[in-house]
Amino acid sequence: MTQQSLAQSMPEAGDYGAVLFYSEFDDPKAWGDALKSNLPGLDFRVYPDVGNPDDIRHVLAWKAFPGFFEPFRNIAQVVNLGAGIDALVGRTDLPDVPISRLSDPGMIALMRSYVLFSVIRYARDIPAFEQAQRRHEWHYIHPRPLDTIKVGILGLGHLGSAVASGLADVGFDVSGWDVAPKSITGVRCFGLDQKQDFLGELEILVNMMPLTPATAGMINADLFSALPQGAKFVNASRGHVVDEPALIEALRSGQIGGATLDVFHVEPLPEDHPFWSMENVLITPHLASITVPEAAARDVAESIRRVSAGGEPLHRVDPRRGY
C-alpha cells in the first residue's frame, strides 16, 4: 500500500477499536489525554477496566505480567512503553502482530543528558573532589582537554547512537561498537570482530546494549579485563547485560576504577547489596531516561492510524532479535 493510498484509507477515530493501557510505572491519565489530543474520540481503556476483551485492538504496555495478552483475540498491534523490549522477548502469550517501541525526542534528550553527566563527572575528576570535600581538603587536579579522553559506547542503536553523537559534539574522543555496521559522524565505529580493539584504549565505557538472550551477561570478567586498568564504567541500559559479581570483583580489585549504575539485576536494589557501600560506585534508581507522553503520543497515534488502515507502525521491532 502506497503512502497516498494509506492516507486516503485512514479510518475515523471510532473505527480504530479500543486501546488498552497497562503499566505500573507510567501515568495512564497523561497517556490518555495525550493520545486523545491526537485522536479525538479514541476509546482509551486502562487495565483492569478492560470491558469486552474483543474490543481491544491496540495495546500499550510496559512489562505486562505473564499471560496478559491471552484474553485479547483481536489485537492488531502492541506498543511497548519504552525503548527496551526485553519484557516482550520469549513470551508465549504474545500474538503475531506488529510490535513497536517508543522513540521520542524527550526520551533521547534525557538519556543523552544522563550519559553526558556520568562521563563528564569522571572526565573532570568530580569523584575525587567529592572525596576531598568530605576530608575538608582543597585538592587541585589540573583539567585535561576532553579530546584526550577516550570514551566508548557499547551498542549503537537509536539511543546509543544519540549518546555517541552527543559526547562527540562536546569534544570527547568517542568510539562505538555494535554487532551491525554503523557510521556516525565524529565517532570511530567498530564491528563484530573488533571488540578487543574497541576496548583496549578506553578510559570510560558506556553500556547501551539492549537485553536479549545473546547479550545477557556479555559484560563479564573477560570484558572488564580487556579494558585498561582503572577504566570507568557507566550502565544506562539494562542490568542483566552485566555480570554483577564480575563487576563487583573488578571494582574491588581496581581493574574498574569507578562505576555509575542506573540499572540492576534486582530493582529496587536490595539494601544489603554490595554496591551500596562501595565508595567508587554511584547509584541512581533507573531514571536515566523516561518517556514523555506528550511527545511520544504523536508517534503512537500515527501508528494506530497506520495499523488501522492496514499499514505498518512506526518504530517496529522484532522480539525474536530483542530490538
Confidence category of residue 20, pLDDT binned at 50, 70, 90: very high
Catalytic residue among 265, 273, 286, 298: 286
As annotated, the residues of the chain forming the CATH 3.40.50.720 domain(s) are 3-104+291-317, 106-283
Q: Does domain 3-104+291-317 have CATH number 3.40.50.720?
A: yes
Q: How far apart are CA 80 and CA 77, in angstroms?
A: 10
What order do you get walking across the sheet with 173-177 strand by strand?
187-190, 173-177, 150-154, 204-207, 231-235, 256-261, 281-283
Asked if pLDDT for residue 254 goes beyond 80, the answer is: yes
Active site residue 238: yes
Q: pLDDT (tens digit, 9 = 90+) per residue, 212-247?
A: 889 999 999 999 999 999 999 999 999 999 999 999
Report, at the CATH architecture level, how domain 106-283 is classified: 3-Layer(aba) Sandwich (3.40)
In tens, the pLDDT along 281-295 reads: 999 999 999 888 988
Nine cell digits for residue 108: 533521547
Q: What is the pLDDT of residue 223?
A: 98
Active-site residue among 238, 240, 305, 306? Answer: 238
Q: What is the pLDDT of residue 6?
A: 44
- Copy the grid coordinates of residue 82: 519504552
Residue 129: all three cell numbers together: 573532589
Tell me how far apart the alpha carbons of residues 263 and 100 are, in angstroms, rounded to a whole number: 22
pTM of the model: 0.86
The residue type of 10 is M
